[in-house]
């Protein structure tokens, strides 16, 4: 949760501009944790430009000056291209994103690191989708300072086992394949990850993620979820996690 102020405008044709200022981060660890609350001086800006009915490009600039965790202070400049290509009865959703990050504010370490994300998801019709993607969080080889995402929803990326909530010093490459299928009222998802170092030849491990979710009624839902990480490195251990989640929306 953030103490923040944001402004969004579509005053420019085919363009949505967003600016947000964040002054405080309140993390899920709670106020009793030393890292539960952080004071930050953060400016977030992006501009989503609609190219046509199928494609858009979003350049962005994110400046984070963290007074309580100086090592996460950074300036990130990047752009995301997203769109769809019609294929038979379905379509392929494509994403290409590139960014570069450097130290900012009171960060005691000078570094430069890059980010790359390429993905394709083929929605084939009849409830079946197949995807293949590559995500890379790079590192500065001179000091092994890696690309940071301190404001991200970390559980949503690089495997549900949460092995890489902090980017390894050697960076991380994640090659992953996704299968989604709608079976009656159930939404089924399977994801396979192969993790390795962005710099060097180290293999971190592989992971299978599985989920099955359904709507019990208009306002209630049920989700079963599992993550199975198999380590190829002494820095990590084999890890299995399971969730049963009940949701209510009004």
- End-to-end CA gap in the chain: 20
At 154, give phi and psi (nearest 5°). -65, -35
Q: How far apart are CA 234 and CA 236, in angstroms?
A: 5
Q: pLDDT tens digits for 210-248?
A: 999 999 998 999 999 999 999 999 999 999 999 999 999
| Residue 27 maps to a domain | no
Q: pLDDT tens digits for 82-111?
A: 999 999 889 999 999 999 999 999 899 999
pLDDT reading at 34 higher than 60: no
pLDDT of residue 27: 72
CB neighbour list of residue 36: distance below 8 Å, 6 or more residues apart: 26, 27, 29, 30
Question: For residue 127, is it left (φ>0), alpha (ψ between -120 and 50) or beta?
Answer: left
| Residue 219 maps to a domain | yes
| Residue 86 maps to a domain | yes
Q: pLDDT tens digits for 168-206?
A: 999 999 999 999 999 999 999 999 999 999 999 999 999
| Residue 37 maps to a domain | no
pLDDT of residue 33: 52
- C-beta atoms surrounding 125 within 10 Å: 12
| Residue 100 maps to a domain | yes
| Residue 129 maps to a domain | yes
CATH number of the structural domain spanning residue 165: 2.40.160.10
Which residue range is the domain that position 226 belongs to?
Answer: 68-248
**H or E element in which residue 194 lies:** strand 186-196
Instruction: Identify which of 22-26, 72-76, 148-152 has the greatest average pLDDT.
Output: 72-76
Structural domains counted in the chain:
1
| Residue 41 maps to a domain | no
| Residue 209 maps to a domain | yes
């Amino acid at each position: 949760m953030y103490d923040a102020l944001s402004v969004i405008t579509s005053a420019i044709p085919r363009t949505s501009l967003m600016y947000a200022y964040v002054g405080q981060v309140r993390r899920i660890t709670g106020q009793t944790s030393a890292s539960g609350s952080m004071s930050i001086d953060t400016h977030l800006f992006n501009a989503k430009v609609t190219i046509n009915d199928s494609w858009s490009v979003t350049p962005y600039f994110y400046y984070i000056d963290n007074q309580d965790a100086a090592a996460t202070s950074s300036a990130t400049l990047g752009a995301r291209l997203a769109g769809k290509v019609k294929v038979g009865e379905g379509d392929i959703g494509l994403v290409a994103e590139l960014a570069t990050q450097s130290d900012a504010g009171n960060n005691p370490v000078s570094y430069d690191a890059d980010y790359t994300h390429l993905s394709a998801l083929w929605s084939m019709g009849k409830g079946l989708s197949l995807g293949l993607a590559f995500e890379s969080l790079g590192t500065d080889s001179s000091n092994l300072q890696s690309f940071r995402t301190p404001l991200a929803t970390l559980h949503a990326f690089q495997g549900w086992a949460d092995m890489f909530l902090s980017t390894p010093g050697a960076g991380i490459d994640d090659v992953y394949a996704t299968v989604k299928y709608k079976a009656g009222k159930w939404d089924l998802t399977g994801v396979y990850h192969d993790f390795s170092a962005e710099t060097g030849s180290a293999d971190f491990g592989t992971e299978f993620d599985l989920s099955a979710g359904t709507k019990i009624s208009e306002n209630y839902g049920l989700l079963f979820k599992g993550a199975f990480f198999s380590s190829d490195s002494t820095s990590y251990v084999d890890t299995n996690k399971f969730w049963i989640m009940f949701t209510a929306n009004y």
